[in-house]
Chain A
Amino acid sequence: MRWLLLKDLQILRRSPLLVSLLVIYPIVIAVLIGFAISRGPAKPRVAFLNEVPPSASVLELNGEKIDVAQYGKQVFSRIDPVYVKTEKEAIAKVKSGDVLAALIIPADLTQKLSGGTGSANVRVYYNAEDPVKAQFVQDTIKAEVQDANTALTKQFTKIALNYLDLISTGGNISIFGKSFNVLGLAKSEAIVNAAQSGLPANSPLRTALGQVSNFARLARQNLNLSNGVLAAVGTPIKADQKIINGSRTPLDAFAVAIAVTISLMFVTLLLASGILALEREENAFLRLVRGLVSRTGLLIEKIGLAALCAILVSLLMLAGIALFVSLAWGRFPLWLVSLVLGGLGFGAMGVAIGGITREVRAASLLAFMLALPIAFLALVPSGAVSSGLYDVIRVISALFPFKPTLDALDAALNKSGSIGLPLVHLAILTVAFGVIARLSLRRFA
């Protein structure tokens, strides 16, 4: 069998174009898909005009100074600002397509915010000739304004709480540069109680003072509850996230697993199906199985060679990725086990394809036709489609090695979930596809 293996390597070595395509194509596809999945759209270029004069960017509430410009920075976290000098210039940039949208902060923004009489408006201009682009701009600006609102609300809430605390416990307050002392409900209650106890037992004022004292106590107690109420107003709904299935793999790390799995799949499927079909195209199959090599041995050699080449390509890819993304090299044995079983699974599927199609071109075409849908189906997240359809997709994905390989690699690379089950799954698929391939050899010659 080793001579056969060497022969196939020799043939590959003499097919540099094929080998280059086999290596480069899957890597390019994998990297593109990985990037598409891991990265959202780049920060949109947005023309930005802040008409608020620097001297007016700070608003003062109850002695608390709020710099609105600070909250503007929050908007810039998701956009690439292009500073302009006039609103006209901003609109021109939107029209020319130089920027996706324009965001204008009017001069009276802080004034309106400090007045507290209504919402302060910002102006947004964008082209809507492309509905996707328009939706993207709307979503981005809406999200950014919402974030700024939340941040400002928190600040206003903090000030309101200070006021309430002052009313409850008393203290000093500064208004228009003058300092005032506020008695506060707690001290008022104490004073009223002291006055009440100084009155004769039958004084009619006792009852009246008792009512005032009760009011002060109840008001103070209820004001203590206002902290929570106001905090809830600031952030009425909080998302408490708990993972039911899957793992908390960062998107970049998951993209690495996807990219490597796609490369592994393409190289192994194309190579295994092609080199088996080549034995028939060269008319060598019958000569080989006429006592020189068993049919099963021939399949094992093809699966092994394809898996070996694909594992090497995948490891090279991981080494390259490691230059940009931090990978846990301490888990290398687990990477290797995942790659080996994934490679064997795809290799067995590849020889099944080669055995059924019996021609190199037909085998390559079928391998391509199967590979892409299998990969995309395995990446459909739950909830993206109806539950019935998702169940069908899960069953289909389970019939091919992509999903378990991805799960195993994700577990190996990103410590997410169990690695055992996907590996067992892959072993079962390897045997199943191996049996299909072996049966297909009955009518191979």
Chain B
Amino acid sequence: MQQDSAQATPAGAGERAVVLEAREIVKRFGEREALKGVSLEAGRGELVAIIGPNGAGKTTLLSILAGIQRADGGNVSRSPAEVGWVPQQAAVYSKLTVAENLRLFARLEKRPDVADVVERMLAQTGLEERRDDPVAQLSGGNKQRVNIAIGLLSAPEVLLLDEPSAALDPRQRERLWEFILDLAATGTTVVYSTHNVQEAERHAGQVVVLADGEKLFAGSPRELEQIVGATDLDFEEAFVAFLRQRGH
């Protein structure tokens, strides 16, 4: 598992070039403070997992980084146009084919090389043979690939994924992570939220732990285990123990 993480964070070991920075992000919904001054940093090619219990503010933070929601305070180093965003539910048109979806969004992104980009994305997602299939006929995993491919059409340096593997079976999940790890290996920074703590341990160079809108931790999975102090716990147990220690 450690090995996977190390492979996925080529920039983590050496000199770290920060490509995304969020400072003191605050978000309120009426009286409720959903994010309480959360900061985050991600280096080139780094895989950052945002984890936390339900209602922690994971999706809200990603939405603000993606420019879908406005923060009530703080700032983000990149404009929304500079980051790719992949929502949790596949945001694709089920009546259109895979290629038509990619073509449409490439045109809307005003890509000058629409045909090339579409071909590249089809190759990258391994969906060349399904290019003319309506998205409605794809499996959940393949739909999610198309969803991610659309997020990558503008060739962003940073890709934000909201629970990318939710609702996928283990085999589909595995294939999806292979795809995401390949992206990171080519220098794309991937920030994702997940409920699956083991997935974070396995595929993240950095985990950011949120609870009740507060950032409790940012560091590697091993650092989190070290903070908890118990050596006989696996990462999920260490994560739960960590939350308990912090009163959550």
Chain A residues at the B interface, C-beta cutoff of 8 Å: 3-4, 7, 10-11, 14-15, 282-284, 286-288, 290-293, 445
Contacts and interface: CB of A to CB of B under 8 A. Distances in A.
Given A3-B104, A10-B96, A11-B96, 9 more contacts: A7-B100, A10-B100, A282-B92, A282-B94, A287-B150, A290-B80, A291-B80, A292-B105, A293-B108
Nearest to A292: B108
B150 A7 contact: no
B216 interface: no
Among A15, A286, A287, find the residue whose CB has the most chain B CB atoms closer than 10 A.
A287
B217 to A, nearest CB: 29
A287 B81 contact: no
Interface string B113-146: 0000000000000000000001000000000000
A383 B5 CA distance: 81
Interface of chain A: mostly helix, strand, loop or mixed: loop
Interface residues of B, number: 23
A5 B232 CA distance: 59
Contacts of B87: 283, 286-287
B100 A3 contact: no
B85 A11 contact: no
A290 B69 CA distance: 10
A290 B85 contact: yes
A292 to B, nearest CB: 4
Interface string B82-113: 00010101111111100010001101110000
B81 A291 contact: yes
Contact of A282 (B93, B108, B134): B93
A287 B85 CA distance: 8
B141 to A, nearest CB: 17
Contacts of A7: 93, 96, 100, 104
A287 B68 CA distance: 9
A10 B103 CA distance: 13
Contacts of A284: 91-93
A249 to B, nearest CB: 43
Nearest to A4: B108
Tell me which of B90, B107, B108, B109 has the highest count of chain A C-beta atoms within 10 A of its own C-beta.
B108
Nearest to A15: B95
Given A283-B87, A287-B85, A11 B108 contact: no
